[in-house]
Amino acid sequence: MIIELNHSIQQAEAEQLAIDTKAFHIVYENAHYLITGSGVKELPENVKDKAVNHWVFANDLQLASSKFLPKKRTVQFGNVTIGGDTKNTIIIGGPCSVESEEQIRTSSTFISGLGLKVLRGGCYKPRTSPYSFQGLGLEGLKLLAKMRDEFGLTVITEVRDATHIQEIIEYSDVIQVGAKAMYDQGILRACAKTQKPVLIKRGFGTTLQEFVQAAEFVLAGGNPNVILCERGIRTFETGTRFTLDLCGVAWLKQHTNLPIILDPSHAMGYAYGVADLARACVAMGIDGLLIETHPDPSVAKSDASQQLNHAEFETLIQSLRPVASSVGYSIV
Amino acid sequence: MIIELNHSIQQAEAEQLAIDTKAFHIVYENAHYLITGSGVKELPENVKDKAVNHWVFANDLQLASSKFLPKKRTVQFGNVTIGGDTKNTIIIGGPCSVESEEQIRTSSTFISGLGLKVLRGGCYKPRTSPYSFQGLGLEGLKLLAKMRDEFGLTVITEVRDATHIQEIIEYSDVIQVGAKAMYDQGILRACAKTQKPVLIKRGFGTTLQEFVQAAEFVLAGGNPNVILCERGIRTFETGTRFTLDLCGVAWLKQHTNLPIILDPSHAMGYAYGVADLARACVAMGIDGLLIETHPDPSVAKSDASQQLNHAEFETLIQSLRPVASSVGYSIV
Amino acid sequence: MIIELNHSIQQAEAEQLAIDTKAFHIVYENAHYLITGSGVKELPENVKDKAVNHWVFANDLQLASSKFLPKKRTVQFGNVTIGGDTKNTIIIGGPCSVESEEQIRTSSTFISGLGLKVLRGGCYKPRTSPYSFQGLGLEGLKLLAKMRDEFGLTVITEVRDATHIQEIIEYSDVIQVGAKAMYDQGILRACAKTQKPVLIKRGFGTTLQEFVQAAEFVLAGGNPNVILCERGIRTFETGTRFTLDLCGVAWLKQHTNLPIILDPSHAMGYAYGVADLARACVAMGIDGLLIETHPDPSVAKSDASQQLNHAEFETLIQSLRPVASSVGYSIV
Amino acid sequence: MIIELNHSIQQAEAEQLAIDTKAFHIVYENAHYLITGSGVKELPENVKDKAVNHWVFANDLQLASSKFLPKKRTVQFGNVTIGGDTKNTIIIGGPCSVESEEQIRTSSTFISGLGLKVLRGGCYKPRTSPYSFQGLGLEGLKLLAKMRDEFGLTVITEVRDATHIQEIIEYSDVIQVGAKAMYDQGILRACAKTQKPVLIKRGFGTTLQEFVQAAEFVLAGGNPNVILCERGIRTFETGTRFTLDLCGVAWLKQHTNLPIILDPSHAMGYAYGVADLARACVAMGIDGLLIETHPDPSVAKSDASQQLNHAEFETLIQSLRPVASSVGYSIV
């Protein structure tokens, strides 16, 4: 249950009520809210005369639910707003991994040259093998920060595990929680304590319900700036790397209030299908797109097969504008 | 292996060579071809000096392969051509089931009033329960044929099992092989003996490779008019009925030469997501769309939750035209 | 709803009541039953004073439900009874395909030499490629019948589609409905009209609910002799051919009244795992096991990788006896 | 590639060679080994004359591979050895969560009263909702340690994320890495630095290959004491909570050298199926079984539906002994 407290109630009293009802306490648009588990169906006795509104839920999808906030939330990527009524589809481009200063500067020059605002690049790679390239770590984070300073780009990079979440929060403008880390409470609870935007990728074996509940950890902990990212689920089909779940995206648009960004590169796993899928994603009316592009995919240290080269990426972005326009959106 | 025989070779000799090499024999655009299993990697001795061309394959995706015919095949829906260079996206609309003459006439009036050309309606329903509505059978087929005569619509209906395939071939303009029947060789072999177009739906547990191999049964048996239809696969996600596999569609576009039609209604299972998904499908650059619409979905005898009402359907079709246009296609 | 009619009611009246209530009518252990869809929750007016008992269900799993018959049904394999209180685990052995008279006689000699009673062998192979070996068809059926006459074995073979179901019913002692054919109503309705046992394999993309509903087609049509066979479902894991669903078997034992036979050979797809899996199956307390064995797997025309050779099969059968005994069952 | 260095080579030189070849360095049974990625197919120049043996692999399943060590490794649970030639099947019993001192003492009394040696109990619960019971944390760990001291039991508990891995290593005898945490390199790398046994559960969306590669992180980092635990994968079937993958277990037995423990409780999700499944697991010939049992499942704070009560658990253990014996194993 979500309980909106009487607006005259102050911080200290709200905190005490949260303790008394074993609830989370958040402040959202200047009002105090308590959030209990969804098993609570009737207003607790001790808040009965202190609540101005309350919402009952069938399950623990609560703060993220469109039943609570029917209108989609907004989130800032630097100066750009997505979600709400903006009808912006933001493009997040860049290489799978930060590999060197030269490589990431080439990428930054390219991305900002196209008029795009957001640069991605992995520093802590969640590889499934200990024998693969694991990323540059802190050195990579510093390179990303340097690119932000030089090019004015908003940067986003992925946290692999809780041991370096504070570094990511410090260096990255947007925190990406990867598909393999999205159940990680060490990460989610840390993300709840910052106000930086958090992009949570759906695990490839994760139900929509569980996916949104990961967002609930961040929302209930006090950070309202959460974006959901569908990037393909694991199915019996192995002709492609994963299966992009656009039915799931339709479900998320209907049932949640969170902005949605899609990642067709990881879903497909092969460059040849990325452009068609990206256009399909944009035609869904979504808040952003995450596309991997590398100066020279053939020598990339990770995900070589699915990254677009710069010419392909540029052609793709040009082709997305009329598609976005046909559904009332703008590519930003 | 596909072997294109010397063009001077006549029907009788080609047939004898097929017997000698244990191969299928087809005539395609006035040339004779032999098709053996893909295990054959070198031209058989007895056709060595009778072949003008041959193609070797890694697996039994042969006649449907873009390695054999790099350009997409065309198929006729009445007067309308899809595939090839047409850039047509054909809309197939109508109710899940033919329920009565009044209902199907209302649907036909509506569909043809929108300027659309193709009417769908199930007569033999492949229900998983013996206690559900099973369709009107032959009576329904006759109603569809009546609508064709009255409205000039091309009609398409589904075969459930081999016991009534001859009826379907007789009454329907396009034969739909459903997701549960697509391994059925009794059906596929009968479809190979007609020249009517055959739309094969992917089974919800079927790999892309197996899906295209079902088409190979029809193609190798002598009917080149095959369309593939993706309609959602079964995954762990149950928030939606199935998972529409657009990564798979990208794979099919890359690896096969067959027109592709998508069915977002069955994939989603809920009316609320159908429009968004339909727009995504169209933005992929596809040859057609199959959408269920019913005069009054609330009283439909099957698939009540996923059928659009007529107002929703009309709004959807209007919204599809600019999306199709943005990728160079036309809605027909 | 299942309605047990007053025992004084005769065949003609029962049939008329079935028509009036749009229900199936069956005779089971000398009583007349009507079966409507599970949507019917209250006794229809016209049978209210003619019913001695009735069962209400949450879904269309009715005649197969343990709520209707709490005790497991029995089915005959020749002289051997399985199910009920018998605690028999019957072994069905033999090659994937009948390939020649010599081959199937070798198999029959071997199977009967081990004291086993049931011979399997495919004649109509449900291959996914038109270019693979498709089975000997009617010639194979006649060879199986010959082996029954020579060796006194009970024979079981698979129907591929409805075009040859009458042949299978005529020649085979037990009718096997394969994983790809189990939704085929042409087959299921024909099986309902015989009294021969019908072994239905679960489709690899089929839910437990749908699986049992396929059995409902046969049961509601008048044939009570149905056996369920789990043979592996399709999952994201491709290290093995399929994933044997023993959790599903536990579900079936709890919720249905039908005997259960397991097929570890098709699930595993590799001979090396079959013995371990077969022992696991037997330890579940099941009614039978279907194991592929070939005189020389390396030259088998289908499923070469998963068939045991005769020495391996014999060793396996010996090892199964103490496992069966440890859970109170006997290998027969 | 795994390279066994000449036995005269000392620690310092081995470490330098590891740096030079960008390889992991471990000591196993008094020999020094270097482990590079599997992409290395020929002995590096600088170790050519210093290697006594080397193994080439098709993929990054190397130290865990039965190609490297054909015989299964042994691991200690307190005084009990599993794996190797022991033919021991160890039982790990106890509640899903440590809930109170009284509850865990009741469990400990029960487990040790049955002659069993290992107690499980979750302290950091990896719940998918922030609103569910999250476990007692450090307080729970201390209670487990107390039980070890009082009852002489070996205790095992789960790490949820990297923030508390050092606590787990300090208090638990065996470290359990849960299904949602098994990609967590913060955890895996910490586990590599202890010599305590590490039980890694397979993620429900994790391939067998990825599963074993998680073990490679621990093995390559220097801890040889790894156990694999299959606990059910996520498939389209929702009648049961997960699908226990015994085909996968057969694969692991064939391709790896690690002991295997199975968890039928989490796979099934319902108490009614646990006993049948546990017997099936034991009949596979495995190294252990993890079964949830609670003094009163109806009031359990997590996994209420799948925990056995003490009477059911005791009956189960008794029934396992003859099954284990029938395949040459002993329940310990």
Q: Are A248 and B239 within 8 A, CB to CB? A: yes
Nearest chain D residue to A60 by CA: give it: D129
Q: Which residues of A touch C238 (CB under 8 A)?
A: 238
Measure CB to CB from residue A162 to each of D60, D132, D161 and give the nearest one: D161
Note whether D187 contacts A: Cβ–Cβ < 8 A. yes
pLDDT for A244? 98
**pLDDT value at C302 more than 90:** no
Q: What is the number of alpha carbons within 13 Å of residue D269 lying toward its C-beta? A: 15
When pLDDT is averaged across residues B38-50 and rounded to a whole number, the result is 95
For B33, list phi and psi in degrees, rounded to 5.
-130, 145
Angle (CA) B241 C181 C277, round 5°: 85
A325 burial (CB, 10 Å; 0-12 / 13-18 / 19+) is middle
Q: Are C186 and B163 within 8 A, CB to CB? A: yes
Q: How many CB pairs under 8 A join A and B?
A: 141
| Beta carbons of B82 and B74 less than 8 angstroms apart | yes
Q: How many CB pairs under 8 A join A and C?
A: 8
Structure token pair of residue B5: 């025989």
Task: Name subunits touching B (3+ CB pairs < 8 A).
Answer: A, C, D
DSSP D137-153: THHHHHHHHHHHHHH--
| Residue located via tokens 């659009």 | B308
| Beta carbons of B215 and B258 less than 8 angstroms apart | yes
Q: State the first-to-last Cα distance of chain D, in angstroms, to the nearest integer.
A: 37
| Beta carbons of C150 and C108 less than 8 angstroms apart | yes
Q: Report the share of chain B in percent with pLDDT over 90.
A: 96
Question: How close is the nearest chain B Cα to the Cα of D289, in Å?
Answer: 26
Q: How many helices, marked H, and strands, marked E, lie in chain C?
A: 10, 15
Q: Are D128 and A213 within 8 A, CB to CB? A: yes
pLDDT digits (tens, 9 = 90+) for C207-230: 999 999 999 999 999 999 999 999
pLDDT digits (tens, 9 = 90+) for A309-318: 999 999 999 9
Q: Are B283 and A285 within 8 A, CB to CB? A: no
CA D166 to chain centroid, in Å, comes to 18
Q: Report the share of chain A in percent with pLDDT over 70.
A: 100
Q: What is the number of alpha carbons within 13 Å of residue C322 lying toward its C-beta? A: 14
For D99, list phi and psi in degrees, rounded to 5.
-110, -30
Structure token pair of residue C8: 């004084």
Question: How close is the nearest chain D Cα to the Cα of B243, in Å?
Answer: 11
Measure CB to CB from residue C234 to each of A205, A234, A236 and give the nearest one: A236
d(CA A196, CA A77): 9
Measure CB to CB from residue B184 to each of C24, C184, C205 and give the nearest one: C184
pLDDT for B174? 98
Q: Are C234 and A238 within 8 A, CB to CB? A: no
Under DSSP, the state recorded for C233 is B
pLDDT digits (tens, 9 = 90+) for D230-265: 999 999 999 999 999 999 999 999 999 999 999 999
**pLDDT value at B303 more than 90:** no
When pLDDT is averaged across residues B157-177 and rounded to a whole number, the result is 97
CB neighbour list of residue A9: distance below 8 Å, 6 or more residues apart? A17, A32, A50
**pLDDT value at B302 more than 90:** no
| Beta carbons of B108 and B151 less than 8 angstroms apart | yes
Q: Which residues of B touch A241 (CB under 8 A)?
A: 247
- Picking from A234, A235, A236, A238 by the largest number of C CB atoms within 10 A of its own CB, the best residue to mutate is A236
Measure CB to CB from residue C37 to each of B132, B217, B221 and give the nearest one: B132
E strands present in chain C:
2-5, 24-28, 31-35, 51-55, 74-77, 80-83, 88-94, 118-120, 154-159, 174-177, 198-201, 226-230, 260-262, 288-292, 330-331
d(CA C303, CA C288): 21
Structure token pair of residue A281: 């994603």
Q: Which residues of B touch D236 (CB under 8 A)?
A: 205, 234-236
What's the mean pLDDT when you consider all of chain A? 97
Question: How close is the nearest chain D Cα to the Cα of C56, in Å?
Answer: 20
Q: What is the number of alpha carbons within 13 Å of residue D175 lying toward its C-beta? A: 32
pLDDT for C15? 96
Structure token pair of residue B111: 């569909």
Q: Which residues of C touch D277 (CB under 8 A)?
A: 246-247, 250, 284
pLDDT for D292? 95
pLDDT digits (tens, 9 = 90+) for C33-82: 999 999 999 999 999 999 999 999 999 999 999 999 999 999 999 999 99
pLDDT for C304? 83
Measure CB to CB from residue D327 to each of C248, C279, C325 and give the nearest one: C279
| Beta carbons of B159 and B178 less than 8 angstroms apart | yes
pLDDT for A304? 83
Task: Name subunits touching D (3+ CB pairs < 8 A).
Answer: A, B, C
pLDDT classification of C233: cutoffs 50, 70, 90: very high
**pLDDT value at B304 more than 90:** no
pLDDT digits (tens, 9 = 90+) for D21-47: 999 999 999 999 999 999 999 999 999
pLDDT for C296? 92
Amino acid (one-letter) located at D194: T
Q: Are B37 and C210 within 8 A, CB to CB? A: no
**pLDDT value at C314 more than 90:** yes
| Beta carbons of D56 and D41 less than 8 angstroms apart | yes
> What is each CA distance from D319 to C253, C330, D291, in whole angstroms?
18, 17, 14
Q: How many CB pairs under 8 A join B and C?
A: 105
Closest CA to D284 of C281, B208, C324: C281
d(CA D197, CA D76): 7
Nearest chain A residue to D125 by CA: give it: A185
Q: Which residues of B touch D235 (CB under 8 A)?
A: 236
Q: Report the share of chain B in percent with pLDDT over 70.
A: 100
From the CA atom positions of chain B, what is the Rg in Å?
20
CA dihedral B169, B170, B176, B180 (to 10 degrees): -70
| Beta carbons of C156 and C177 less than 8 angstroms apart | no
Q: How many CB pairs under 8 A join B and D?
A: 8
Q: Are C233 and D238 within 8 A, CB to CB? A: no
Partner C, chain D 130-149, Cβ-Cβ below 8 Å: none
Measure CB to CB from residue D234 to each of B205, B234, B236 and give the nearest one: B236
Partner A, chain B 208-267, Cβ-Cβ below 8 Å: 208-209, 232-233, 235-251, 253-254, 267
Structure token pair of residue A88: 């912006």
d(CA A294, CA A310): 7
For D66, list phi and psi in degrees, rounded to 5.
-70, -10
CA A9 to chain centroid, in Å, comes to 33
Q: State the first-to-last Cα distance of chain C, in angstroms, to the nearest integer.
A: 37
pLDDT classification of B189: cutoffs 50, 70, 90: very high
pLDDT for B52? 96
pLDDT for D303? 83
d(CA C183, CA C190): 13
Q: Are D186 and A205 within 8 A, CB to CB? A: no
Nearest chain D residue to B234 by CA: give it: D236
Measure CB to CB from residue B237 to each of A233, A239, A272 and give the nearest one: A233
What's the mean pLDDT when you consider all of chain B? 97
Under DSSP, the state recorded for B233 is B
β-strand pairing of B154-159 with B118-120: parallel
pLDDT digits (tens, 9 = 90+) for A160-173: 999 999 999 999 99
Note whether B66 contacts A: Cβ–Cβ < 8 A. no
pLDDT classification of B162: cutoffs 50, 70, 90: very high
**pLDDT value at A303 more than 90:** no
> Which regions of chain D are under pLDDT 70?
none
Does pTM surpass 0.80?
yes
DSSP D12-42: HHHHHHHHHTT-EEEEETTEEEEE--TT--S
pLDDT classification of A245: cutoffs 50, 70, 90: very high
pLDDT for B1? 97
Question: How close is the nearest chain C Cα to the Cα of B320, in Å?
Answer: 33
Structure token pair of residue D306: 């799948």
Closest CA to B264 of B291, B297, B246, B226: B291
When pLDDT is averaged across residues C131-146 and rounded to a whole number, the result is 95
Note whether B281 contacts A: Cβ–Cβ < 8 A. yes
Q: How many CB atoms lie within 10 A of CB B301?
A: 20
Q: Are A204 and D205 within 8 A, CB to CB? A: yes
- Picking from B185, B189, B209 by the largest number of C CB atoms within 10 A of its own CB, the best residue to mutate is B185
Amino acid (one-letter) located at A91: I
**pLDDT value at B204 more than 90:** yes
In 3-state terms, what secondary structure has residue B200? strand
Question: How close is the nearest chain B Cα to the Cα of D244, in Å?
Answer: 14
